[in-house]
Amino acid sequence: MEQLMRNFFLFLSKNKMLTKLAKKYGLRFGAARFVAGETIKLAVDAIKGLNQKNLSVTIDYLGEFVDNEAEANEMADNSIEAIKAIGREKLDSQLSLKMTSMGLDISDEVVLRNMRRILEAAKENGVFVTIDMEDYSRCQKTLDIFKQLKSEYDNIGTVIQAYLYRTVQDMEDLNHYNPNLRLVKGAYKESPEVAFPDKKDVDNNFKKIIKMHLLNGNYTAVATHDDAMIEYTIEVVKEHGIPKDQFEFQMLYGIRPERQEELVKEGYKMRVYVPYGNDWYGYFMRRLAERPANVAFVLKGILKK
């Protein structure tokens, strides 16, 4: 049943008509629990509130799968606006983005031009940029562009997904760059030809890459809401004397906020991924796919109205 629901919401996440409708009608159906708001101003307010609780942030102007150049340029402009707001307001925040919103599906020229614009603005404002990892069909291209940009800029990292079979090999290749990586389980619907279908295998691979990246001496962001993975990370860092400034935990805005604060109180760095903007639909559907309890929460919200 859980698998069926997951597939259903991941299928809905790609629906172009619903994406357009969602943009038009604003944050609905409980999406406001997972999205800070539609404007940069609301996002800045949310970040200030989190920073006051000693939570660091990575902000994401929502958008994905853009297929025309003007829109990709506008998406990049919005990310630059977010970077400037971080600098101006002295926020403890990084930036995250999806390269399909910067023109990855249009051409190398468009995506590289937009990425360099963003990275220049980020360098000026002392902001670190993480390239989110999208579906499998974009994985190789994302890594190729990451490697190219990493040789030009220091303030860039990317994401590795534990559910892919290729992941350990990718980590070995990337190790030459001593990258700052966010490690996640993986959020897209992938075929069993490329990704572990069984959650147990995903969890085991997740543990494997957490240990591998930490022991290679690289900065490691463990992005999960799963206590078993958090506890495993704490075990590894204690056993191997990994310093606290070599790793951090990350969680999504609106998910397990009490646990986020608890980890800060225990002395760990915790970064919250704060999405904002009107293109919230695909992001929201992936959150529903991850957890049946999130669907129950949304249904309760709708029934109350």
Q: Which sequence positions are flagged as catalytic?
A: 132, 182
Is 147 a binder of ligand FDA (CB under 6 A)? no
Member of 47, 209, 252, 263 binding ligand FDA (CB under 6 A): 252
CB closer to ligand FDA, 7 vs 68:
7
Number of residues lying near ligand FDA (CB under 6 A):
22
> DSSP letter at 273?
E
Minimum separation from the CB atom of position 241 to ligand FDA (A): 25
What the block records as the tokens of 238 is 């204690």
Is 132 a binder of ligand FDA (CB under 6 A)? yes
Member of 69, 230, 291, 295 binding ligand FDA (CB under 6 A): 291
- Rounded (10°) angle between helices 108-124 and 69-88: 10
Minimum separation from the CB atom of position 76 to ligand FDA (A): 18
Is 250 a binder of ligand FDA (CB under 6 A)? yes
Is 14 a binder of ligand FDA (CB under 6 A)? no
Is 180 a binder of ligand FDA (CB under 6 A)? no
Mask for 49-68, x = binds ligand FDA (CB under 6 A): --------------------
CB closer to ligand FDA, 68 vs 169:
169
Contact 56, 272 (CB under 8 A): yes
**Helix residue ranges per DSSP H, 39-133:** 40-52, 69-88, 108-124
What the block records as the tokens of 239 is 């056993």
Mark the segment that binds ligand FDA (CB under 6 A) among 28-36, 69-77, 116-124, 244-252. Answer: 244-252
Mark the segment that binds ligand FDA (CB under 6 A) among 47-55, 104-112, 165-173, 182-190. Answer: 182-190
CA separation for the pair 263, 252 (Å, rounded): 14
